[in-house]
Amino acid sequence: MEILRLILVILHFVGLASLLGGFLVQMKAIGAGRGTVVPAMVHGALTQLVTGLLLVGTIEMGHLFELDNVKIAVKLLVAIVITVLVFVYRKKQPAPSWALWAIGGLTLANIVVAVVWR
């Protein structure tokens, strides 16, 4: 179970890199009102949802450690909002700047929650 958790944590970081990286490489375009939801963001959002939920299952089933359910609920809610935004605006050229800033900002918010909330 511990090996599975480690693999999932690594994939969770890959998804985070994809989602945040997709936003960061476009900051200039977003500032100019030409930003779009790139596939890396869509794949990253889905990867975070799937690996996050599988992590919860692995930690619970393996009795690895106690998870804070409120923290997980907040992360899940934020990830769902991000996923809805990337799917709603993935075909818009350009996508509204507020939606792209929200995707980047909420991703950062979930990193802060993951690291600070212990």
Query: Where in 29-68 is the site for ligand HEM (CB under 6 A)?
Result: 48-49, 52-53, 55-56, 59
Mark residues 2-21: x for contact with ligand HEM by CB under 6 A, - for none: ---x---x--x---x--x--
- The least CB distance from residue 97 to ligand HEM, in Å, is 19
Q: Which is nearer to ligand HEM, 9 or 32 (CB)?
A: 9
- The least CB distance from residue 51 to ligand HEM, in Å, is 7
Number of helices (H), then strands (E), belonging to the chain: the values are 5, 0
Q: Which residues of 50-73 are buried (b: 16+ CB within 10 A; e: fewer)?
A: ebbebbbebbeeeeeeeeeeeebe
Cα–Cα dist 65/105, whole Å: 29
Cα–Cα dist 82/19, whole Å: 10
User: Would you tell me which residues interact with ligand HEM (CB under 6 A)?
Assistant: 5, 9, 12, 16, 19, 48-49, 52-53, 55-56, 59, 72, 75-76, 79, 82, 107, 110-111, 114-115
